[in-house]
Structure 1
Amino acid sequence: MANLPPSHYDDIGQLGEDLVAQWLESTDWVILHRRFSCRWGEIDIIAQHHDCKSVKDTINPISTQYSTLAFVEVKTRSSSNWDAGGRSAITLQKQAKLSRTAGIFLAQYPQMANYACRFDVAIVYCQRILKQRSQLTASRQALISASVAGYQFYLQEYIPAAFDSAIDS
């Protein structure tokens, strides 16, 4: 992927985010925002999940709905990446930026301020599809994959609650 224009990498990143959003939706998450940004930074995906839990009572069973917000950082990388598939790009400084950005999101949507919040990381592997090559390789079983724009994308790993933050409920 040498000598490609800088905008190409944004497109690849967007396609990786699309794959993660599709997977989240297939696992009952609702995508609230894509590329939420403020002066502190950007969050690739903000998703919400509702869990219904029943509290057993001898007289009246009560069903309570709990919501979780996931602030998802997506790292899309090729096989020749330098940063462990994107894992080492989630530095303490990056975590702080994500936390501040999530705080701005919650300030804009105060009705969600009491939801359980977590920071997830999605690792997407990207490989150019070569015409003469009949088989693609991936390092391990993917959670989901897609072929788009001459590339094969694999969601290799989804790490829930990948790091702690100042936003806890």
Structure 2
Amino acid sequence: MPKPPASNYADIGDIGEDLVAQWLQSTGWEILHRRFSCRWGEIDIIAQYHDQTATVTQQTPNPQNSILAFVEVKTRSAGSWDAGGRNAITLQKQAKLCSTAEIFLAQYPEKADYPCRFDVAIVFSQRLSKKLEGTLVTPESLASLSIAGYNFKLLEYIPAAFDMPVIN
């Protein structure tokens, strides 16, 4: 099967991010930013989870009851060379994400005291073929979406996939 043109890759990545953002919202997360970028890099999704049970009795949000997630989304097709995107989260990529997260926290100091983590979402994309008939056997997914001639599945969401390096 021929690969989609290079101009299509960004769209496929964007749709994978859309799927993850929708799934996060459906599980109680608030999306603060999409594609936050600075000179160090880009973070696909920045989301915040509020512990609703703890904030019912409080008038103002408490950082102790919330968490920030900096989410890297990897959208890949079958046979990808990097284990579905898992191997693309190199130490260099982690350092860029951490630097970008620090810039975000500097720009939004009201979030600086919130516990933070770095999550990774693995999305599988498959071009739909009109020639295929019957049912395709694919791994179970957390969420799925069919759009623009492709089927997208959120196969894995890895909370706290890596830690921010400690600088002495």
TM-score (norm 1): 0.88
The structural deviation recorded for 1:7 is: 1.8
Residue by residue over 1:50-70, the C-alpha shift from the partner in whole angstroms, topping out at 9 and shown as x without a partner, is 01455xxxxxxx668411110
Partner of 1:71: 70
Partner of 1:14: 14
Residue by residue over 1:78-122, the C-alpha shift from the partner in whole angstroms, topping out at 9 and shown as x without a partner, is 002000000000000000000000000000000000001000000
The structural deviation recorded for 1:3 is: 5.2
Deviating beyond 6 angstroms after TM superposition, the runs of 4 or more aligned structure 1 residues are: none
- Paired residue type of 1:100: S
Q: Unaligned regions of 5+ residues in structure 1, if any?
A: 55-61
Q: CA RMSD in A?
A: 1.9
Aligned residue for 2:51, secondary structure, equals strand
- Paired residue type of 2:157: Y
**For 1:1-169, what aligned pairs fall within 5 Å after superposition?**
2=2, 4-52=4-52, 54=54, 65=62, 66-134=65-133, 135-138=135-138, 140-166=139-165
TM-score (norm 2): 0.89
Aligned residue for 2:21, secondary structure, equals helix
The structural deviation recorded for 1:2 is: 3.8
The structure where strand makes up a greater share of residues is 1
Q: Unaligned regions of 5+ residues in structure 2, if any?
A: none
- Paired residue type of 1:75: K
Query: Does the 8 A contact of 1:129 with 1:136 survive in 2?
Result: no
Query: Does the 8 A contact of 1:74 with 1:122 survive in 2?
Result: yes
The structural deviation recorded for 1:6 is: 2.1
Q: Report percent identity of matched pairs.
A: 66
